Amino acid sequence: MTTISRHDIPTLTGAPLLGHFAAFRARRLALFETLSHAGDVVWFWVGPYRILFLNDPSLIREALSQHGSRLERMGRTNTYLRPFLGEGLLTSSGETHRSERRAIGPHLSPVSIGRLGASIVSLTEQRVRGWEHGATIDLAQELTTLTLEVIGAALFGTTLSAAWGTLCAAFTHLEEYVTGGVNALLPLPPEWPLPANQRMRRVAAEFDRALTELLSAARQLPPDSGALAPILQQQLPPQLLRDELATLLFAGHETTASALTWTLALLDQHPAIAHELRLEVDQVLRRRAVTVADLPSLPFLDRVLKESIRLYPPVYVIVGGNGFSQGIIGAL
Ligand code: HEM
């Protein structure tokens, strides 16, 4: 286990009082680029918040795996996520979080997700078929819709079209709402009767209705359908079930959409890598559809994806990570 003295950690010089607020808000990628050259562990400030930037893979692994149980889910992002995600795996802490892990974790193993390979491929093929050659598309939007369909199929074992439009709209709104809250210098409490909060409550109510609809549809499906079926059989309290479904749908599509978008953007910027990847894929698949069993034969693809999420991690800020920081530097 690594312990670094906090006196040995440099602080990136920023503006008085505001620190790096302006860059965090308007030039976040550039700020992280600067931080990445400032050392393996660096402090920076965003208004009143002091943030520990970890830039070393082994320290990041240690923080997430060894100090994960010390995670306190608090802070700004959580405040803004809670109206949508409730107390699911991503927003709960302590014993509540541990018991949710025991109930949900075993049903999200790579093996259970791997069984869904064929439906993931078919959903991808359907979406890509809609892209016209030479046309301009909003790739991030297309991939967000695709990954939402994929996580839906993974959870329910089938594509459920009912309520899907409401879900997509609610997630877009959730993202804007959380980003707005995180970017504000002085965020106003979600309870205040402001127009943005009132709109959030209306969208959250529609989101709730869509989740209820999906849960009742899921109960009619065969017991061996998707990853949700064994979770449904555990008789979890209805509110918790709703929160976990919202969390899995959210956590399971934003991340993968971001990873895929950055990967394709990077491949576009690095044609030689794209060429090598195409050679590997053509050689292994010979124009047939990919299966989960092919993945070990595609090591270059694996490296491309890992490099892409190393350069542009879909989850780059852990809120309420004081426990991680204490684990790494002993004390704050
Ligand atoms: C490239 C893809 C992904 C990346 C980079 C990623 C990254 C992460 C990270 C860093 C965390 C820890 C965040 C925190 O504790 O605040 C996390 C948590 C979580 N992720 Fe993912 N994730 C990905 C895909 C997925 C998918 C596909 C699912 C859905 C099945 C998922 C479900 C979750 C859940 C439920 C949690 C909370 C786990 C817990 O605290 O017990 N993630 N993810």
Q: Concatenated DSSP letters for 22-89?
A: HHHHH-HHHHHHHHHTS-SEEEEEETTEEEEEE--HHHHHHHHHTSGGG----SHHHHHHHHHHTTST
Phi-psi category of 17—alpha, beta or left, where left has phi over 0 and alpha has psi -120 to 50?
A: left
Q: 36: which 2 tokens?
A: 């990445």
Residue nearest to ligand 1 atom 1, measured at CA? 256
Domains of the chain: 1-66 (no CATH), 78-270+310-317 (1.10.630.10)
Q: 197: which 2 tokens?
A: 């909060």
- Res 34 pLDDT > 90: yes
Ligand 1: centre distance to CA 133 (Å): 34
Per-residue confidence (pLDDT) for residue 67, from 0 to 100: 64
Query: What is the model's pTM?
Result: 0.87
Helices then strands (H, E): number in the chain?
A: 15, 2
- Res 327 pLDDT > 70: no
User: For a pocket test of ligand 1, which of 113, 243, 315, 322 has the largest count of ligand atoms closer than 8 A to its C-beta?
Assistant: 315
Residue 76 confidence class, pLDDT cut points 50, 70, 90: low
Residue nearest to ligand 1 atom 5, measured at CA? 314
Q: How far apart are CA 36 and CA 42, in angstroms?
A: 9
Ligand 1: centre distance to CA 65 (Å): 13
Burial of residue 25, with CB atoms counted within 10 A of its CB: 0-12 exposed, 13-18 middle, 19 or more buried:
middle
User: What does the pLDDT look like over 235-274, one tens digit per residue?
Assistant: 889 899 999 999 999 998 989 999 999 999 999 999 999 9
Do 264 and 139 contact (CB within 8 A), yes or no? yes
| Index of the ligand 1 atom closest to the CA of residue 321 | 16
Do 148 and 253 contact (CB within 8 A), yes or no? yes
Residue nearest to ligand 1 atom 41, measured at CA? 89
Do 113 and 227 contact (CB within 8 A), yes or no? yes
Q: How far apart are CA 97 and CA 138, in angstroms?
A: 36
- Res 303 pLDDT > 80: yes
277 or 168: which leads in pLDDT: 277
Ligand 1 binding pocket (C-beta < 6 A) is: 71, 89-90, 101, 108, 247-248, 251-252, 255-256, 259, 309, 314-315, 318
